[in-house]
Amino acid sequence: MDLPEVVSLTAPGALSPPAAPASAQTVRQPWHWRVFELVSSYLPLLLMALLALGTWWLVKNTPLAGEVRAAAPLRHEPDYEMRDFAVQRFTPQGPLRAQIEGDALRHYPDTDTLEIDNVRLRAVAPDGRVTLATARHAISNGAGTEVQLMGGAEIVREATADDAAINFKGEFLHAFLDTERVRSHLPVTVTRGGTQVHAEGMEYSHLDRLIQFSGRMRASFSPKGKP
pLDDT at 22: 52
pLDDT at 1: 47
Residue 154 pLDDT more than 60?
Answer: yes
Domains and CATH numbers, the chain: 80-221 (2.60.450.10)
- pLDDT tens digit string along 91-106? 888 888 888 899 999 9
Higher-pLDDT residue of 166 and 34 is: 166
pLDDT at 93: 83
- pLDDT band for 113, please (50, 70, 90 cuts): very high
Could you tell me if 140 and 156 are in contact, meaning their C-beta atoms sit under 8 angstroms apart?
no
Task: Work out the burial of residue 122: count CB atoms within 10 Å of its CB; fewer than 13 is exposed, 13-18 middle, 19 or more buried.
Answer: middle
**Stretch (H or E) spanning 55:** helix 31-61
- Residues facing 222 on adjacent strands: none
CA distances from 213 to 154, 169, 175, 189, 222 (A): 17, 14, 16, 10, 20
pLDDT at 209: 85
- pLDDT tens digit string along 184-195? 999 999 999 889
- pLDDT tens digit string along 60-79? 776 666 555 666 677 778 88
pLDDT at 151: 95
CA distances from 205 to 66, 138, 153, 209, 210 (A): 48, 21, 18, 6, 5
Higher-pLDDT residue of 133 and 57 is: 133
Mean pLDDT taken over the chain: 81
Among the listed residues 163, 221, 144, the one whose alpha carbon sits nearest the alpha carbon of residue 190: 221
